Structure 1
């Protein structure tokens, strides 16, 4: 396989953060020597997450075996996932905001038609449902564990305890019509066909749409990590990948 110099459009702070965590992890394990240094292990992990390169290509570029590349990336991903904020921690951050934004997104996966639990009727494709919490500026605060794509957004929000958390903390939340009926502090637009709504209801819906539109920035932030645009791994690994990306984003952004 031919190799060539390439780049990863990730901030150096993310590389330094992950390198430091891997260095600390190796000290705790008592590791004496490895083929790649903590910095190189961090770089191969970032290349996989950001660019979506398969392990065979990463192995060729870093001069290691494919199995070694997989093991290094999996170790770093699990380490990052363990550092991701919990819903309770996200709630404490959200409580300092005027309100938060809630939305769901589908992460496409390579599944066949027989895998119906993963098929999203809304998006007409197979994938995993991930719930997103963002601040009023559209910055990513929290991402949920992944559920099969057939799960609707409102059901996913309930299963993760998002609605209960928001209600108990008294945090106002803006969401779309996919969250109809959750109650609590979750606000959604008026339901019904546009022509049947009153002028006041139309004005409220337009204002609501302008406010919650910024949540798309948080979704775009998550999907800027190209691996998440088309996942070909086991569905059991997707939650760890999402949590790893969340940790890297929070670590490299100013808050």
Structure 2
């Protein structure tokens, strides 16, 4: 991220963090005199930078604590306080326009007349402790690994517009989409085209054809002449349009904390949405540079 983006984030998130910190202190039953209590050894800028380094490179808290000259517990608490702030900002698509919910994404695509692309992606996480009742919920049926799943929505340019809160790895993509109300938004919202892979087959009929999946294979045996050739051509045409969301997911996974998360699973929703929001700044800059060439 550029220095201008970091300056903008400090100016926006700093007052919000200070307000929440003061509200937390005021909510305690035991009141302290003004100016009393422990003094922060790290200013907000250091806390923000430590959070960004942790998200981008998955640097351990021990190493970050040495870099910033604080105790490990202090840095862990600082990251936990700062991480939700960029997650709540949403994804920026243009100056002054941010998308925070799936409904806002559908409205944005409908107004601009753009095609959206949707896909689910898995993020490997640590295995649940032995004896927990929900231990098997995080085992992915696809990769047979412990993972959480998020739903990613991108536009035709491959820009990430939305990342949903994470769900356990045993959730199917179509269940994930239904849980977040995609069917209701497409049937009751603006006319918009959404491309998806075969994992969402069945939603096309429920959304009036607004969600488009790869063509079904009509003939398992004794197919007419040239049917296989036509079906393969249609499938590749759909895949070539949908590949942009895979590029967007790849940019998300370039942030090491999403390549394999070694922290607590409870923080994964904030982590994914924070990375998506920060990535949107970079994608806007790259898209603007490409259009100027």
TM-score, normalized by the shorter chain, greater than 0.5: yes
| TM-score, normalization by structure 2 | 0.77
2:147 match:
127
Structure label with greater radius of gyration: 2
Structure 1, unaligned runs of 5 or more: 1-9
Which of 93, 107, 123 is equivalent to 1:107? Answer: 123
1:231 match:
261
Which of 198, 213, 222 is equivalent to 1:188? Answer: 213
- The two structures, once aligned, show a CA RMSD in angstroms of 2.3
2:182 match:
162
Deviates more, 1:142-151 or 1:27-36: 27-36
Counterparts of 1:200 and 1:130 in 2: how far apart (Å)?
Answer: 33
How do 1:1-255 and structure 2 match up within 5 A?
10-28=1-19, 34-84=40-90, 85-95=100-110, 96-111=112-127, 115-168=135-188, 169-183=190-204, 184=207, 185-192=210-217, 197-254=227-284
Going from structure 1 to structure 2, the CA distance change for 1:252 and 1:36 (only over 3 Å counts) comes to: farther
Counterparts of 2:103 and 2:41 in 1: how far apart (Å)?
Answer: 39
Structure 2, unaligned runs of 5 or more: 23-34, 91-99, 288-293
C-alpha contact (below 8 Å) 2:138/2:170 kept by paired residues: yes
| TM-score, normalization by structure 1 | 0.87
Question: Which secondary structure state, in structure 2, belongs to the residue aligned with residue 103 of structure 1?
Answer: strand
Going from structure 1 to structure 2, the CA distance change for 1:180 and 1:19 (only over 3 Å counts) comes to: same
Counterparts of 2:67 and 2:129 in 1: how far apart (Å)?
Answer: 35
